[in-house]
Structures are given as structure tokens and as C-alpha cells.
Amino acid sequence: MISNLKLDKTAERNIKKWLRGKYDDETKATINKWIEEGNVNQLTDSFYKNLEFGTGGMRGEIGVGSNRMNKYTVGAATQGLANYLNKVYLSEDIKVAIAYDSRNFSPEFAQIAADIFSSNGITAYLYPELRPTPQLSFTVRELGCQAGLVITASHNPREYNGYKVYWNDGSQVVSPHDKNIVEEVNAITTVSKIKFRSIKKRIKTIKPALDKKYLKAVKSISVSPRINRKQSDLKIVFSSIHGTGITMVPAALEQLGFENVHLVEEQSKPDGNFPTVVYPNPEEKEAMSMALAKAKEIDADLVMATDPDADRVGMAVKNPTGEWQLLNGNQAASLIIYYLLKAWKKGNKLTGNEFVAKTIVTTDLIDKMAEKAGVKCYNTLTGFKYIAQVIRETEGKETFIGGGEESYGYLIGDKVRDKDAIASCAIIAELTAYARHNGISLFDFLADMYMQYGFYYEGLISVTKKGKKGAEEIQKMMADFRNSPPNSLAGSPVVMMSDYKSLKSINLLTKEQEDIKTGLGIESSNVLQFFTEDGTKFTCRPSGTEPKIKFYVGVVGKLKSKDEFEATLNSLKAKVESIKEELELN
């Protein structure tokens, strides 16, 4: 009996609801099997809550339960979204664009969503095959849709899938829409409230013309087309890691003039099981290993790989000893902005009305470069929806050059309103061609940037805490840091704490407080930042999409010459490691 298992009350209530409700027999059989086995952990983790929208939407493991991705949680989310759209756009003919990636059940979940939208009087524009997330953002704007949806779990492990909601400007939903949608989803208390039955005439297949328009938009971001043509033989290795990048990246590179692109064929076929990697994340060296091996084999100039939904890209450069070195997200974002500011200045495109944007956990090197160029730099909360919010609210008044976040997501230009690995691959190839045209390697280009502005290095420590117990442990860690700030980091006194939950910055020496200005990408959020006397920045933030708490450490030093690159980098890495040990971050 379920009452003998001593389950969390919410979990027990949800389990009983699923066993009594109009759920399919296979689902009920799975739940009963867990009950018979006394599998308390499985039952608790699957039912102790309902999936919620975080910084990237709804995301969870595929399986049975209210806390899992399945036809019923996808159905409830879609019905709730449909109800909200019908309330917001009372007298309009509502349109929603839908795309999906290569993950298991992505096509099925996308079709379920299209069916439900159609049954609620909403026209669903559905891609017939997998397409990148940034292309969906573009499509929402191009088709004049009120909303958009991508079925994806981005770079999460293979057992995950997810549900990203976009608003009418092509950006992910922000407040108040995100909270209002959650309320509507939570109001779907029984399966009978979900309209699964399809109305075929309201489901439209998106035509190939949208592919061409998107690629044209990507081509328009090029700043040095003449150099691209001169460096057309640039040797590029690309891997889509079994995801959607294969549908657009090769074509995007070709149209910019790059004729020497080598695909990692073993990873070119879309596959939700991601058979050649442990974790389909281009941040991980293991996921990049095949691309790096191919680069070494052909003596390439550049290596790039995209995640399953192609909104993130990882890259590698060859160092002076001939070894391939992965760049982290901060380094790649900095290189992109460094190149764009140079190219815009050379093309006399800087008028004093331009801006770049980044998140508060992304390297401060970008702030420094923008300031030197006379370009404004907006800092936002973590999540590209906040950068999109800045673009939306400054539209027609200021010109967006580009932006990025430390988690390998970048955007160039404003035709897409989410991080775009397709456009990023194009501009990374272009900046590599620019460096080569000027007689230097990509590594030299990176070193020149650090010598000019300072050697900024950032480390990320992610601590995974799964399930209900893990969520409670994460909240305790945040409370401990909030109530007892560290006195020093790597020997330097902590002088300031910014608490984005209370929206207060506190001088820890004088105890003086000042308000953190809201608006333009800043609102209340459970994030803490600590600043030391020597310029170190330490940030604590629970992930909105994964069962993790993330700690970001940013340090800075001086790079006097390219010959000292490795020694300086190792010194900064050691400093980050010492802070990790000092704070016992595990």
C-alpha cells in the first residue's frame, strides 16, 4: 500500500491523482510497479513536485510522473500556455511556431503540443524536421507569431528533454508572462482539462523558405566579407554532436565563403541517445574529443562544436606548441566582442549609440573593452531572455552589436532574440579568418586581447544536488553565504556583497547599503555576488534548469608577453582553485 511507504505528502497526493485519473494503462502499471517494489526514491523524485519554468523553461528527465517530461506534463504545459494566450490575445488570430531537436521523444512532444494548440483554436506552425533553437526565435518574428515553442533540453544529459517557451518578439518568456503561464499550467488539475484531440486544418507545416530567410539573416552579420573570401581555404572542423547544428552550420559557413569545412561524420547524424559522447555538451573536452582528433589529423585552423539544439558552441585553438586548447565561454565571448568592436571601428560604424550585453556572471573583460571603445555594456541576470529584454526595450534607440554569457551562448545582431550557435559559428570562423589575414594565429589574437586589456580568467564550480533533499541542501548553502559572507578570498578582503534577491548592495566594511537598479534585464533573483579588494568576483547561483548550484570565480592578472601566457594562466587557475578549496565548494 502506498500509505505504508511514508512518502512526501505532495508526492503521495500526486501519485494517487495519477492512479485515479485518466492516464494510460502503461503509465499506471509503471507507478504500481514502483509501489510494489517500495521504490521510495523513484516515487518521490518523480512526483514530489510539478515541473516548473526556470531560466530556460521546463526541463526534466523523460519518464512517468508529475516531475518528469511525458505526454501529460507536456500536455498540461501546452494547455496552460494555450489558455494564457487565449486570455492575452482575446480578439486575435493566434499563431504559435514549434521546433524540436534530436532528443528522444522530441518529435512526439512537438506533435502533441501542435495538436493541443489546434484544439484550442490556435494555429500551430510546425517544422517538419528538427531545427535549431535560434531558428525558432527567428521564425516567431518572421511569421508574426504570438508565441513559440522548442522541445529541447539543450546540453543536458541524454535522459532529459524540455520545453522552451518564446514570446512574440522571439525571446524566451520573462515576467510577468512566465509566472502567469505557470499559474495557468498549475490550474490544469486533471487530464480531462487537456484538449489532446487535433484539428488538422490548424496545423501548418513550415516551408523551406524559412530556412533560406534564416540563413540570409545569419549572412547579414558578417563584418569582413572580403577577408572571408580571401581566406576561403581556412581549415575548419565542425561537429554537431548528434544535434541540430548539422542542419544549418555547414550551410552558414559555406555562404560566408568558407570552402574547407570538415565535418565529424561519426557525430553528424542526429540521435537522441548521443552514442559517441557521455554528455552532449561542447563545454566538455570529452564531447569535443572526436573533433579535436580530426583537427590534429588535418592540421586545422579552427575547431567548433554545437550542442543538441544549436544555441551553444564550443571552440578550440592551437597553442604555440601545436596542442589544441579548448576555450571557455568567457574567452569565446570576449574574442567575439573584441573582434566585433575592432571591425565596427575599422568600418566607421561606431557612432556612440551602440551597445553590447552580457550577464552578471560573465567576464568583466567585456565591460572593459566596451568602455575603451565608447560602447555601452548592459549587465543582466543569467539567462539570454534578459539580454533579449534589453534589446527589445532599447529597440529603435540604440544599436545592438553583440553579446554573450559564460555558458557558451552568444548572439550577434538583433534578428534573433536568443543565443545563436549558427551565427556564432559564422562569426568565430570570420574572426579566425581576420586573424589569419593579419598574419597571426587565433591563439595570438587571444593573447593580444589579454595584453591590451588584462588577463581575465573565470572558473565555474557546479555542485549537483538531485531530488527534493538536494533542493533543500542548495537553499541552505545560499542561506549560509547570505547570512555569513566570506571575510576574504585568496587573501584579499571581501569588501562588497550584492544580493539580487533583496536587490541590495552592502559595503561589508562600512555596512552602508544601496539599491540595485532594476529594469533592463535586472529583477529580484536568488543570486549573491562578492567582490574583493584585488578585483576578484565570486558569484553563487542555483541553476534554473538543472539540479545544481553554481559558483563563478573571476580573477584578473597582467599578461606582459605571449611567452608568459601559460605561466600567467596557470597562476590565475591556481588562484581560482585556492578559492574553491578555501570555501569547501563540493
Task: Answer yes or no: do 217 and 192 share one domain.
Answer: no
pLDDT at 578: 95
Q: Distance between CA atoms of 407 and 362, rounded to whole angstroms? A: 8
The H helix count followed by the E strand count for the chain is 18, 23
Task: Answer yes or no: do 449 and 474 share one domain.
Answer: no
Task: Answer yes or no: do 348 and 336 share one domain.
Answer: yes
φ, ψ of residue 393 in degrees (nearest 5): -80, -15
Residues with Cβ < 8 Å from 413, sequence gap 6 or more? Answer: 217, 220, 221, 400, 401, 402, 423
Q: Distance between CA atoms of 510 and 500, rounded to whole angstroms? A: 20
CB 112 within 8 A of CB 149: no
How many other CB atoms are found less than 10 A from the CB of residue 40? 15
Question: Domain residues for 282?
Answer: 213-453
Single out the residue in 420, 453, 486 at which a domain terminates: 453
Task: Answer yes or no: do 461 and 449 share one domain.
Answer: no
pLDDT digits (tens, 9 = 90+) for 170-189: 999 988 898 888 889 889 98
CATH number at residue 132: 3.40.120.10
Tell me the three state secondary structure of residue 496.
strand
User: Is 28 contained in some domain?
Assistant: no
pLDDT at 179: 85
Cell of 35: 509501489
User: Is 576 contained in some domain?
Assistant: yes
Longest Cα–Cα distance of the chain, Å, equals: 74
Task: Answer yes or no: do 78 and 133 share one domain.
Answer: yes
Q: Distance between CA atoms of 133 and 135, rounded to whole angstroms? A: 5
Q: Distance between CA atoms of 90 and 387, rounded to whole angstroms? A: 29
Task: Answer yes or no: do 410 and 527 share one domain.
Answer: no
pLDDT digits (tens, 9 = 90+) for 21-68: 999 999 999 999 998 998 989 999 999 988 776 545 688 999 999 999
Tell me the three state secondary structure of residue 377.
strand
Q: Distance between CA atoms of 549 and 161, rounded to whole angstroms? A: 20
pLDDT at 7: 87
CATH number at residue 494: 3.30.310
Task: Answer yes or no: do 299 and 388 share one domain.
Answer: yes
Task: Answer yes or no: do 115 and 187 share one domain.
Answer: yes
User: Is 23 contained in some domain?
Assistant: no
User: Is 563 contained in some domain?
Assistant: yes
Single out the residue in 453, 471, 506 at which a domain terminates: 453
In Å, how far from its chain's centre is CA 265? 25
CB 230 within 8 A of CB 245: no
Computed on alpha carbons and rounded to an integer, the radius of gyration of the chain in Å comes to: 24
Cell of 417: 532574440
pLDDT at 54: 57
Cell of 7: 512518502
Single out the residue in 207, 229, 246 at which a domain terminates: 207
Whether the CA torsion 53, 75, 472, 586 is positive or negative: it is negative
| Amino acid identity at 75 | G
User: Is 491 contained in some domain?
Assistant: yes
Task: Answer yes or no: do 220 and 270 share one domain.
Answer: yes
Q: Distance between CA atoms of 419 and 306, rounded to whole angstroms? A: 12
Task: Answer yes or no: do 331 and 392 share one domain.
Answer: yes
pLDDT digits (tens, 9 = 90+) for 209-246: 999 999 999 999 999 999 999 999 999 999 999 999 99
Q: Distance between CA atoms of 361 and 379, rounded to whole angstroms? A: 9
User: Is 18 contained in some domain?
Assistant: no
Residues of the chain with pLDDT under 70: 1, 53-57, 545, 586
Catalytic residue list contains 154:
yes
Count of domains for the chain: 3
User: Is 515 contained in some domain?
Assistant: yes
Catalytic residue among 66, 119, 137, 154: 154
Task: Answer yes or no: do 423 and 497 share one domain.
Answer: no
Task: Answer yes or no: do 479 and 433 share one domain.
Answer: no
User: Is 11 contained in some domain?
Assistant: no
Q: Distance between CA atoms of 245 and 275, rounded to whole angstroms? A: 16
